[in-house]
Amino acid sequence: MNQEVSIFRQRFQLVPLIFVVVGTGFLVLLGNWQLNRLKEKTNFIQSIEHNIANPAKSINEINSGNPIYSKIAISGKFLAHKNIFLYGRRSASPEKDGYYLLSAFEATNGKIYLVSRGWIPQSTKNNLEEFESKQIFDKFEAIILPSETKQFIIPENDKNNKIWFTIDLSMAREVLGITEDKYYLMQIQSNTLPEGGKPLSPVHLSKVRNDHLEYAITWYSLAACLLIMFFIYRKKLPL
């Protein structure tokens, strides 16, 4: 026979009570964690939107702290024959197969950065000999973005053919000679792309999924259901 305990003059079987108390507490903790994640994600999105909306800072002003998603202004030159191509389809383009053009950019501060300049279709990539042979001086605004981590199902970067599937800043240092490998730059509305190229916009950066409130409600609901089921079970037991 199960041992019983008395709480507020009510008798409960010990083992089911322990299960319900531990289970409910765990589900509530998960709900609380999701609410904390909701707050963090909301602040993160607001920070990105704030950076995008406000004037750009000089690249030399963001050397300390965490510069990721800051909007910066930079000037210098794109180096000749220092380009790689990040595979990426573009659903809004008639020619969907294409690449993001990533180039080494030597800034006036002497550092060399990796810059994502825009998207080009496959047909444009096949005719870039003249474009790649030029050093292009430019001054532009950009968003600072973090390096990517290769996912298991993603192919390896093809260094020999300069076709990449993941932005690997350590590899960019080796292949392109960049000197800043803590982040890369996404150029905003480039006007120095080859014909057929499409510039990039930071608008999508703040479109981050934020479903943590729904998750929190789910966990709290499960906790409430567990309690209700316990009391229904208890009422069916013989006195």
pLDDT, tens digit (0-9, with 9 covering 90-100), for 46-90: 877 877 788 888 888 876 667 888 899 999 999 999 999 999 866
Strands (E), the chain: 4-7, 10-13, 57-58, 71-87, 98-107, 112-121, 136-145, 163-164, 184-187, 198-199
Give the per-residue pLDDT at 81. 92
Task: Record the tokens describing residue 81, joined without a space.
Answer: 């024959």
Percentage of residues in the chain having pLDDT higher than 90: 38
Task: Record the tokens describing residue 204, joined without a space.
Answer: 């999508």
Task: Record the tokens describing residue 15, joined without a space.
Answer: 């083992």
Question: Residues 84, 89, 92, 96: what is their CA dihedral angle, to the nearest 10 degrees?
Answer: 100
Give the per-residue pLDDT at 118. 92
Give me the residue spans of the domains in the chain: 4-41+210-236, 56-206
Give the per-residue pLDDT at 53. 80
Give the per-residue pLDDT at 2. 59
Band of pLDDT at residue 10, cut at 50, 70 and 90: low
Give the per-residue pLDDT at 151. 79
Whole-structure pTM value = 0.73
Q: Does residue 117 carry a pLDDT above 90?
A: yes
Give the per-residue pLDDT at 148. 84
Give the per-residue pLDDT at 116. 94
Q: Is the separation of the CB atoms in 197 and 119 below 8 Å?
A: yes
Which of 67-76, 88-97, 205-214 comes out lowest in average pLDDT? 88-97
Q: According to the per-residue pLDDT averaged within each range, which of 85-94, 123-132, 228-237 is highest?
A: 123-132
Q: Is the separation of the CB atoms in 9 and 223 below 8 Å?
A: no
Give the per-residue pLDDT at 137. 94
* β partners of residue 77: 106, 137
Question: Which region holds residue 18: left if phi is over 0, alpha if psi is between -120 and 50, else beta?
Answer: alpha
Q: Does residue 239 carry a pLDDT above 60?
A: no
Which of 65-74, 171-180, 190-199 comes out lowest in average pLDDT? 65-74
- Residue 181: count other Cβ atoms within 10 Å of its Cβ: 17
Q: Does residue 4 carry a pLDDT above 70?
A: no
Which of 60-64, 169-173, 226-230 comes out lowest in average pLDDT? 60-64
